[in-house]
């Protein structure tokens, strides 16, 4: 049994295509989307449609709700690209889910708006606070949002981050998380893609909001907004 969890495509089509080729080789039994298909990059429509076609289960992210729910007037570029049907799908995505795998019960969410922005180096107590909900205390938490993949333990279980497909910080590859059993293991999958092609798509689109910051992030992995 093999499960992939991926997130934060952020309208980066070359990165999404590279991830699709990796999934073709991995042949997962199930692929979870953990939020942020859209926003930032120039291919929000293509990435939204890709998620709906290639993933089996879904959790929304702050950008999905922000754009789908028209929360920010400066996001008109994305509304025009997506249209009302995709925007409704985005704003109606569930905010969290759970997954039991290899006898471990994981809580799944994107990050914001369920929590504040959590990172690998967040204090242990802050990470542990995310394990307990009215549904009980989980054995592990898998989330996204910080655009950096990691697998970490805290005193009450595992906490893991999918990393980002299209907007990775630190290492400018496409990332996802792979769960396998017998024996149970959690692996960061790291896929190179054509970052220069992704930058060029943005250069050809003068309407893209914060275009220079996006290009710098894609080429350097340094947060630039």
Binding site for Fe ion (CB under 5 A): 8, 36
- Which pair of structure tokens corresponds to residue 173? 């590859």
Q: Is the dihedral of CA 199, 201, 205, 207 positive or negative?
A: negative
Residue 8 vs 217, nearer CB to Fe ion: 8
Residue 8 vs 75, nearer CB to Fe ion: 8
Cβ proximity of 192 and 175 under 8 Å: no
Residue 8 vs 201, nearer CB to Fe ion: 8
Task: Report the nearest approach of Fe ion to the CB of residue 209 (Å).
Answer: 15
Task: Report the nearest approach of Fe ion to the CB of residue 144 (Å).
Answer: 7
Q: Who contacts 43 (Cβ-Cβ below 8 Å, separation ≥6)?
A: 11, 12, 13, 16, 201
Task: Report the nearest approach of Fe ion to the CB of residue 155 (Å).
Answer: 28
Task: Report the nearest approach of Fe ion to the CB of residue 36 (Å).
Answer: 4
Which run of H or of E encompasses 68? helix 62-68
Residue 12 vs 195, nearer CB to Fe ion: 12
Residue 116, classed as helix, strand or coil, is coil
Task: Report the nearest approach of Fe ion to the CB of residue 201 (Å).
Answer: 18
Residue 74 vs 125, nearer CB to Fe ion: 74
Which residue of this chain has its Cβ atom nearest to Fe ion in the complex? 36
**DSSP string covering 70-124:** T--GGGHHHHHHHHHHHHHHHHTS-SEEEEEETTEEEEEE-STTTSS---TTS-H
Residue 45 vs 148, nearer CB to Fe ion: 148
Phi, psi of 8 (to 5 degrees): 55, 50
- Which pair of structure tokens corresponds to residue 15? 């990165």
Give the Cα separation of 50 and 16 in Å (integer).
8
Give the Cα separation of 75 and 208 in Å (integer).
10
């Amino acid at each position: 049994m093999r499960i992939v969890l991926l997130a934060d495509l952020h309208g980066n089509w070359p990165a999404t295509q590279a991830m699709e080729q990796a999934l073709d080789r991995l042949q997962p039994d199930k692929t979870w989307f953990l939020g942020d298909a859209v926003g930032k990059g120039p291919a929000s429509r293509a990435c939204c449609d890709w998620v709906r076609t290639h993933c089996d289960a879904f959790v929304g992210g702050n950008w999905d709700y922000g754009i789908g729910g028209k929360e920010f007037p400066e996001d008109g570029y994305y509304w025009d690209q997506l249209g009302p049907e995709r925007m409704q799908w985005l704003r109606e995505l569930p905010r969290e889910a759970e997954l039991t795998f290899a006898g471990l019960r994981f809580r799944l969410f994107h990050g914001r708006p369920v929590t504040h922005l959590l990172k690998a180096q967040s204090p242990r107590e802050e990470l542990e606070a995310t394990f307990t909900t009215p549904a009980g205390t989980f054995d592990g938490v898998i989330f996204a949002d910080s655009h950096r993949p990691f697998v970490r333990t805290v005193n009450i279980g595992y906490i893991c981050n999918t990393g980002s497909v299209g907007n990775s910080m630190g290492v400018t590859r496409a990332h996802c998380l792979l769960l396998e059993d017998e024996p149970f293991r959690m692996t960061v999958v790291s896929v190179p893609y054509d970052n220069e092609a992704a930058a060029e798509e943005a250069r050809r689109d003068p309407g893209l909001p914060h275009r220079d910051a996006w290009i710098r992030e894609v080429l350097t992995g340094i947060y630039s907004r």
